[in-house]
Amino acid sequence: MLHTFVALVEDKTGLLSRVTSLFRRLNVNITSLTVGGTETAGVSRTTIVAEAAEDRAPRIMASLYKLEGVLEVDNVGRHSAVVRELALLKIAASQKTRSDLFQLAEVFRARIVDLAPESLMMEITGSASKIEGLVQILLEGNYRILEMARSGRMAMRRGHHTSRVLEALGDIPQRTEPTTLTGDPKHETLDLMAEEDQV
Amino acid sequence: MDNNGKTNLNPSEAAIYSQPTRLTGAETVWATMVGEGVRDVFGYPGGAILPVYDALRKFPIRHILVRHEQGAAHMADGYARASGRVGVAIATSGPGATNLVTGIATAMLDSIPMVCVTGQVSSKVLGTDAFQEIDITGITLPITKHNYLVNRTEDIAPALREAFRIAKSGRPGPVLVDITKDAQQNSAIFDFAAAAPAPYRPHPMLSADSVAIREALELLRTAKRPVILAGQGILHSRAMEQVRTLAERAQIPVACTLLGLTAFPASHPLNLGMMGMHGESWVNHAIQQADLLIACGMRFDDRVTGSLSTYAQNAKKIHIEIDPAEINKNVRVDVALVGDLKEILETMLPRMPKRDGAAWLRTISTMKGSAAVHDIQQLPDNGHLYAAHVINDIWRETGGEAIIVTDVGQHQMWEAQYYKHEQPRSLVTSGGLGTMGFALPAAIGAKVACPDKEVWVVAGDGGFQMTSAELSTIVQEQLKINIAIVNNGYLGMVRQWQEAFYEKNYECTPLISPDFVKLADAHGIRGAHVNRRAEVIPTVREARQHGKVFLIDFHVEQEDSVYPMIPPGAALHEMIRRPKPSPLVETATEI
């Protein structure tokens, strides 16, 4: 199964290779990996999606914690979480086919971010399945995808979850376990509807 | 920071620890080590570490010059295993650093606290494939607990201090600190106190809450056939007394892993001996028949479990272990107590119910047979010299009190079977990685760490030749070490596998060796050949009485094998027993 781990790590040279080396050592394939900043200076957030048997997750987490500089590990797959991926698609499009693509973009809540005589670029954010849905429709419609870039998944637990580590580092509000509300299926739907970008 | 590389360090002054002082990076390396309590280091100089060597004479540190950097790493490892203190190895960049790798991996697999310091080319040329430049932090990433590339003088003390903390805290392990030459040459303010590492943060997944402890106690209370599995974690946690109390109070027999052999006295009536691939039959049968296993600081290695699907199927399992990544790795356990073994046992012991274990102990004792028949000393001398006799006689002569440092192979298993260790840390052996060539350098480390202890090397003719250059180190350092070579003219353990599983196709296992006594002589070391059983004890006595290093070349039976033996993939109780008639009798029924 696919596991989604979020690891907060010190922003130091070489730490990422320690993390990836660990997965290689455990013979676990990383299907996606994103790294970026957090609300705390000097702390990076990595989201690692990896394919492994279900019962291997605790050992992967324990091994991650053994790396110096890994501050906190969360297996978000086990909790209600918002999981997003960003994709950029460059699609061959002439003046004639453009308007159909504009409509398609609207249906998928994607945005056209670049327009050239022979192509356009679409930006889409959402779950992996949504992105794959768009790709499939494009292919079925005989559109040529010239280039595609996917960011890999990012994930954040729903509700008022806060890292214990970051709590200890600064005065971030007390950690609370996610309430039942956050697990509400209605919430999920709501979120899917409201994922239009603000920019 | 200035770049002239000169400071006015007065080595006799402890003032450098009480007030910040300007030191070169090289001086900082030694000053930090002295501050961390280091007295002995093992190393080999070279271009990129020369500044550090230049500053050595100012500090109260004994440096042992090795003949190969692999030896330095094994010596630091043996030093740590024998004493419990952190071992230190030093090497230059490039080949010096890569030569450490086998030794670092050996320490990693066996959780040995060790700090390796390597020189690196100057930071200006890092990444240019400069002369003797190699990415040693990249190479050692998966075989160290942590490693550092330090390229600023002011970072040396904090990195080194943290390295020592990491090496010895939690589950111990090796740490490597790679320091660029310019960082060694430049100077910076040395402030030992300010360089202190952040306090040790226990692994966040440790858990030994009251519910789990209650469950463990309940399992212990109701168990009819419990067995304690004693691992090296007992030594690391210094929980020998607690494990002993647990065993005695609840009358639970104790089976040891190879690295746990010295965690429980061999002569203790509850000690069954070594478990696993070459464990005695009654030990493995006891584990297979047990209804409760209490695993203390061990990791259910494949060499102790045999086939996992048939391992101790009727037993509940309690796993007391400091590394959460070891829980349910190989064997699924019923209760996991994740934390420091000593602390957990101390919490449990006051609530530990008294048990009557007599019936179970009687059952095991029946399996074991009469003690007299295990006494291979009583067997008639049939003219052959068996390795087991050699080990057994060394045991008798040393009273089980010596530190025995073994290599890897048949002799290692015979040592584990026939030398009865009474003292913690008195067996130094490479378990996890199984590194041939380990014994001689590791023995040097053990002797430097414990100069008042008697130290014996027990090595095969194959492994001994891998690192025999360190004989010169022994002579140069004037160390009293006794060396026993168990010489059968084969790579014995591989030959045994060829005999058992490859139809006696002895491909590449017969082995020509030099005359080891002449080799010793070339080093100015006294030695003797032993071919007959009757010569063993007199020669062992001669070696012990000789004031200097002494080498004995024991020419033993060539095609002797280690039994019992669990074939790969077989269940723990499906042992190949000792063939009959055997000079090394196993049980009363087999006489």
B269-288 residue pLDDT tens: 999 999 999 999 999 999 99
- Residue B5 domain flag: no
- Mean pLDDT along residues B83-106: 98
Note whether B186 and B246 are same-domain residues: no
Kind and range of the H or E run holding A98 = helix A95-107
Nearest Cα residue in chain A from B327: A59
- Residue B489 domain flag: yes
Dihedral (C-alpha) B19, B20, B21, B22: value to the nearest 10 degrees?
-170
Identify whether the C-beta of residue B89 lies closer than 8 Å to the C-beta of residue B103: yes
Show residues of chain A in contact with B149, CB under 8 Å. 14
- Residue B278 domain flag: yes
The answer to whether B149 contacts A14, with C-beta atoms less than 8 Å apart, is yes
Nearest Cα residue in chain A from B173: A66
The answer to whether A14 contacts B327, with C-beta atoms less than 8 Å apart, is no
Note whether B233 and B325 are same-domain residues: yes
Kind and range of the H or E run holding B316 = strand B316-321
- Residue B580 domain flag: no
Note whether B220 and B351 are same-domain residues: yes
Domain at B343, CATH number = 3.40.50.1220
- Residue B581 domain flag: no
Which of B190, B221, B241 delimits the end of a domain?
Answer: B190
More confident residue, B241 or B378: B241
Which range among A4-13, A184-193, B3-12, B236-245 shows the weakest confidence by mean pLDDT?
A184-193
Note whether B363 and B381 are same-domain residues: no
Catalytic residues of B: 69, 131-132, 181, 493
Q: Which residues contact B256 (CB under 8 A, 6 or more apart)?
A: B229, B230, B231, B263, B264, B271, B272, B273, B274, B275
Strands B21-24 and A29-37: unpaired
Note whether B464 and B549 are same-domain residues: yes
Note whether B76 and B163 are same-domain residues: yes
Mutate to test the interface with A, among B207, B329, B330, B333 (most CBs of A within 10 A): B329
Q: Which residues contact B30 (CB under 8 A, 6 or more apart)?
A: B52, B55, B56, B58, B59, B61
Nearest Cα residue in chain A from B323: A62
B392: contact with A, CB 8 A cutoff: no
Dihedral (C-alpha) A183, A187, A193, A197: value to the nearest 10 degrees?
-70
Domain at B140, CATH number = 3.40.50.970
Instruction: Please state, as a whole number, how many other Cβ atoms lie within 10 Å of the Cβ of residue B371.
Output: 9
Q: Which of B137, B138, B325 is nearest residue A62 as measured by Cβ atoms?
A: B325
Domains and CATH numbers, chain A: 2-80+158-198 (3.30.70.260), 82-150 (3.30.70.1150)
- Residue B3 domain flag: no
Give how far B143 is from chain A: nearest CA, Å: 10
- Residue B172 domain flag: yes
Q: Give yes or no for residue B12 having a pLDDT over 80.
A: no
A100-122 residue pLDDT tens: 999 999 999 999 999 999 999 99
- Mean pLDDT along residues B515-542: 97
Identify whether the C-beta of residue B327 lies closer than 8 Å to the C-beta of residue B216: no
Instruction: Please state, as a whole number, how many other Cβ atoms lie within 10 Å of the Cβ of residue B161.
Output: 20
Note whether B305 and B235 are same-domain residues: yes
How buried is B453 (Cβ within 10 angstroms: 0-12 exposed, 13-18 middle, 19+ buried)?
middle
Q: B144 is in which domain, residue-wise? A: 11-190
How buried is B67 (Cβ within 10 angstroms: 0-12 exposed, 13-18 middle, 19+ buried)?
middle
ipTM of the complex: 0.90
Count of domains forming chain B: 3
Nearest Cα to B135, choosing from B178, B173, B188?
A: B178
Which of B309, B342, B369 delimits the end of a domain?
Answer: B369
Q: Which of A55, A62, A68 is nearest residue B146 as measured by Cβ atoms?
A: A68
Note whether B385 and B521 are same-domain residues: yes
- Residue B205 domain flag: no
Q: Give yes or no for residue A162 having a pLDDT over 80.
A: no
B421-470 residue pLDDT tens: 999 999 999 999 999 999 999 999 999 999 999 999 999 999 999 999 99
Q: Which residues of A touch B (CB under 8 A)?
A: 14, 17-18, 21, 25, 55, 58-59, 61-63, 65-68, 72
Note whether B415 and B307 are same-domain residues: no
* Per-residue confidence band for A183, with pLDDT thresholds at 50, 70 and 90: very low
